[in-house]
A and B are shown apart, each in its own frame.
Chain A
Amino acid sequence: MNTLVVDAHVRIGQHREAALSVEALLAAMDRTGVDRAVVAPSEAQIAYDNRAGNAATTQAARATGGRLVAYAVANPWRGAAALDELAWAHEQGARALAVDSALQGFDLLDGLVDPLVRFAAEHRWPVYVRTGTPPGHLPLPTAALARRFPEVAFVMGRSGATDFWIDAAPALRHAPNLYGDTSYAPWDTVLGEFARDPEIGTSRLVFSSDQPYATAVGEMRRMRDWLLPAHERAAVLGTTMAGLLGLEKEPPA
């Protein structure tokens, strides 16, 4: 595969039932042909120990010469302190915001996360939103949040997998600044439907392995099996996410 490949979302560190070290991630990227990956910290660090999480992701980015790109995290319940935390992460090199309403205990539409999204807008960060089963982190409320901030690019993490894949297409139609991620989604059903939809298309999809919850090989194999025109494949695998992050203006890491 002769194209820039960017993995839009992985989580490093020790989670409840899984773990991924930076070394293991880099090895998996080498094995599957991934050039760059955007890394979020552990579940606990997303939920409450935000400083440790931002230190981990930004340190990983520096240590890998930018091959890894850091998400910033801050629990929106912390109010002004959450914004201070994002500012610190920005100084350390973070380039995107990741939120998980289930882990962080808020509703995407209750307004708590809005100041964090405004911070992301000011710094031209994309925002990754974990979606899935109810309550509080479904695709269509994610689209509603995205519509509040049309200047911000949102990545719909997991695209509502699995029972709410059926909601992902209406969500993508509803919010043009929302992007679906490919993790877990079969190309011959879910992703193919997105690609064929004239209001969505492959330009609205970004590759994500979602490690360590999914396997690097399995996620990449499905991408390789999906027969797409070369320019569409390049967009899904990397150039779209690189554009959202502003990476296309930089030399390869």
Chain B
Amino acid sequence: MIDFHTHTPLWTSASWLGGAGFDADDFVRFMDAVGISRAVVLSHDGLFHSTPEANDAVAGFVGKHPGRLVGFGTYSPRRPEALAEIERSFAELGLRGLKLHPWLQGFSMHEQVLDPIMEIVAAHGGILLCHDGTPPYSTAGQIAALARRHPRVPVVLGHAGLHDLWRESLHFTQETENLYLCICGTPPYAAARILDRAPAHKVLFGTDAGLSDKASQDYAVARVLEIDEWGITEAQKRAMLVDNPARLLDGAA
């Protein structure tokens, strides 16, 4: 099983969430406990305060278990040094993707500063994972508009539209070739519908682990266990948890 949406701890920033301190070993123990073989680990501090050090920290975290953890960096796209830092995150730090959070980082997906950034992601064969499901600046239609401009970059909707915008996320995933969705915090009825209607190769799953007050990431464990209650087929489950994320990360079926 590959968890496509997790976070490092919040090391240096304040947040409305409590959170817990944990290291990479703790995190792998959580993964082992619930049967997660690999996890995409997203920056956390960098969503609130973009610094090169935040990307260094992600690289250091995943570097402890390179066979298990895949790191995605982030950087506020309006910053003048953003291009150089995102290039460094791929070329020097070995991060595999870019996480953007438009409403936390305060930009619109239609801003032209994103185009050269997406060209860097494409040049490195990287992936963009974007927060979605939260107006005003994190909706699937907005993200799809950027994805259409950069068809070489796989773009992942990080939450499949959450509770209110999942139909929009499904729709734009259906019609946008390079748009994928990650069921993560999406209600079960919506998850089942998405699995029934979305292109079968485009559905991923994530727990959002890393935000818990416990290093054991209990809510993330519960989310994994809940999958069995969705009423989906074994084929759908395997595609979502194994084949689809592996194809995106490894470039092979």
A179 to chain B, nearest CB (A): 18
- Of the candidates B141, B165, B167, the one whose C-beta lies within 8 Å of that of A167 is B141
Judge whether B167 and A134 touch: CB under 8 Å: no
- Contacting residues, chain B, for A164 (C-beta < 8 A): 136
- B136/A134 in contact, CB under 8 A: yes
Least Cβ–Cβ distance between B161 and chain A, in angstroms? 10
State which residues 128-181 of B face A: CB under 8 Å.
135-136, 139, 141-142, 144-145, 164-165, 167-168, 171-172, 175
* Interface contact A140-B145, CB-CB below 8 Å: yes
Residues of B within 8 A of A169 (CB): 110
Contact partners of A167 in chain B: CB under 8 A? 110, 139, 141-142
Given A133-B135, A164-B136, answer yes or no on A138-B167 (Cβ-Cβ < 8 Å): no
A170 to B137, CA, bound (A): 14
Min CB distance B132 to A, Å, is 12
Q: Are the C-beta atoms of B167 and A109 separated by less than 8 Å?
A: yes
Are B141 and A138 closer than 8 Å at their CB atoms?
yes
Are A109's CB and B171's CB within 8 A?
Answer: yes
Residue A110, interface by CB 8 Å: yes
Contact B110 A144 (CB under 8 A): no
Partner of B165 from the list A133, A135, A143, A174 (CB cut-off 8 Å) is A135
Q: How far is the CA of A135 from the CA of B108 in the complex (A)?
A: 18
Q: Identify A140's interface contact among B108, B136, B142, B164, CB under 8 A.
A: B142
Q: Do B164 and A166 touch (CB < 8 A)?
A: no
> Which residue of A110, A136, A163, A170 contacts B141 across the interface (Cβ within 8 Å)?
A170
For A109, give the chain B residue with the smallest CB separation: B167
Residues in A whose Cβ lies below 8 Å from that of B164: 134-136
Q: Provide the residues of chain A in CB contact with B135, threshold 8 Å.
A: 133-135, 138, 163
A107 on interface, CB distance cutoff 8 Å:
yes
Is A141 interfacial (CB-CB < 8 Å)? yes
Mark A166-180 against chain B: 1 for CB-CB distance below 8 A, else 0. 110111001000000
B139, A140: Cβ atoms closer than 8 Å: yes
A144: chain B residues within 8 A (beta carbon)? 141, 168, 171-172, 175
In the bound complex, residues from chain B placing their C-beta under 8 Å from that of A171 are 141
CB <8 Å contact, A166 and B108 = yes
- Distance in angstroms from A226 CB to nearest chain B CB is 23
Whether the pair B167, A110 counts as a contact (CB closer than 8 A) is: yes
CB distance from A174 to the nearest CB of B (A): 8
Shortest beta-carbon distance from B7 to chain A in Å:
25
Chain B residues closer than 8 Å to A110, beta-carbon distance: 167
Q: How far is the CA of A109 from the CA of B135 in the complex (A)?
A: 17
Report yes or no: B171 in contact with A163, Cβ–Cβ below 8 A: no
Given contacts A107-B167, A135-B165, A166-B108, whether A141 and B141 have CB atoms under 8 Å apart is yes
Bound: A174/B171 CA distance, A: 13
Q: Which residues of A contact B108 (CB under 8 A)?
A: 166
Check B168–A140 contact: CB distance below 8 A. yes
Alpha-carbon distance A144/B135, docked complex (angstroms): 17
Q: Taking the nearest CB of chain B, how far is it from the CB of A161, in angstroms?
A: 12
Interface string of A125-145 (1 = CB under 8 A from B): 000000001111011110110
- Contact (Cβ within 8 A) A134 B139: yes
Knowing A140-B139, A144-B172, A164-B136 touch, does A170 contact B167 (C-beta < 8 A)? no
Nearest CB on B from A36, distance (A): 33
**Across the interface, do B168 and A109 meet the contact criterion of CB distance under 8 Å?**
yes
Q: In the complex the two chains form, what is the Cα distance from A174 to B168 in whole Å? A: 15
Knowing A141-B171, A163-B136, the reply to whether A170 touches B165 (Cβ < 8 A) is: no
User: How far apart are the CA atoms of A139 and B142 in the complex, in Å?
Assistant: 10
Residue interface mask B78-121, A partner, CB < 8 A = 1: 00000000000000000000000000000010100000000000
User: Within the assembled complex, what's the spacing in Å between the Cα atoms of A170 and B139?
Assistant: 13
Q: How far, in Å, is A144 (CB) from chain B's closest CB?
A: 5
A134's contact among B165, B171, B175, by CB below 8 Å, is which?
B165
Nearest CB on A from B230, distance (A) = 20
Q: Looking at the assembled complex, report how far the CB atom of B73 sits from the nearest CB atom of chain A, in whole angstroms.
A: 26
Chain A residues near B136 (CB, 8 Å)?
133-134, 163-164
Closest 3 CB pairs of A and B: A140-B141, A134-B135, A135-B164
Instruction: Name B's A-contacting residues (CB within 8 A).
Output: 108, 110, 135-136, 139, 141-142, 144-145, 164-165, 167-168, 171-172, 175
16 of the cross-chain contacts (CB-CB < 8 Å) are A134-B135, A134-B165, A135-B164, A138-B135, A140-B145, A140-B168, A140-B172, A141-B141, A141-B171, A143-B141, A163-B136, A166-B108, A167-B141, A170-B141, A170-B145, A174-B145
Q: A135-B165, A141-B168, A170-B145 are in contact. List 14 more A-B contacts (CB 8 A).
A: A109-B168, A134-B135, A134-B136, A135-B164, A136-B164, A138-B168, A139-B141, A141-B171, A143-B141, A147-B175, A166-B108, A167-B110, A167-B142, A170-B110
